[in-house]
Amino acid sequence: MEKKHKLYLLLGAGALALFSFFTLQQHSDQPVASMAPLGNAEIVVEPVSEVAFGIRVDTLHLHQAEFKPNQFLADVLLPHHISYPEIDRLVKKAKPVFDVRKLAAGKKFSILTAQDSTAKAHYFIYESSATQYVVFDLRDTMRIYKGEREVEVREATSAGVIQSSLYESLLAAETSPALAMELANMYAWSVDFYRIQKGDRFKVIYEQRFVEGEFIGVGAIKAAVFQHKSEDFYGFYYQQDSLRGDYYDEKGNSLRKAFLQAPLKYSRISSGFSRRRFHPVQKRYKSHLGTDYAAPKGTPIMSVGDGTVVKAGFGRFNGNYVKIRHNGTYSTQYLHMSKIASGMKPGRVVRQGEVIGYVGSTGLATGPHVCFRFWKNGKQVNHRAEKLPASKPIQEEYKADYLEWLEVWKPKLDQVTFPEEEQLPA
Report the CATH number at residue 394: 3.10.450.350
> Does one domain contain both 252 and 395?
yes
- If one counts every other C-beta atom within 10 angstroms of the C-beta of residue 311, the result is 16
Same domain, 394 and 380: no
Q: Are residues 394 and 415 in the same domain?
A: yes
Residues 116 and 190 in one domain: no
- Please give the chain's pLDDT, 426 residues, in tens: 443 333 333 333 333 232 232 233 333 333 333 333 344 444 443 444 577 888 887 788 889 999 999 999 999 999 999 999 999 999 999 999 999 999 999 999 999 998 888 889 999 999 999 899 999 999 988 999 999 999 999 999 998 888 877 777 777 777 787 888 888 878 877 776 666 778 888 999 999 999 988 899 899 999 999 988 778 899 999 988 766 788 999 999 888 877 888 898 766 676 655 555 454 555 555 566 788 998 999 999 999 988 899 999 999 889 999 999 988 788 999 999 999 999 999 999 999 899 999 999 999 888 899 999 999 888 888 887 777 766 778 889 999 999 999 999 999 999 998 776 555 444
Same domain membership, residue 141 and residue 60: yes
Residue 263 forms part of a structural domain: no
Q: Which residues contact 139 (CB under 8 A, 6 or more apart)?
A: 122
Does 195 lie in the same domain as 244? yes
Work out how many domains the chain is built from and give that number: 3
Residue 262 counted as domain residue? no
155 shares its domain with 144: no
Whole-structure pTM over 0.75, yes or no?
Answer: no
* Burial profile 29-46: b = 16 or more Cβ within 10 angstroms, e = fewer: eebebbbbbbbbbebeee
Domain that residue 24 falls in: 2-148
The rounded distance, in Å, linking the Cα atoms of 416 and 201 is 12
253/396 same-domain check: yes
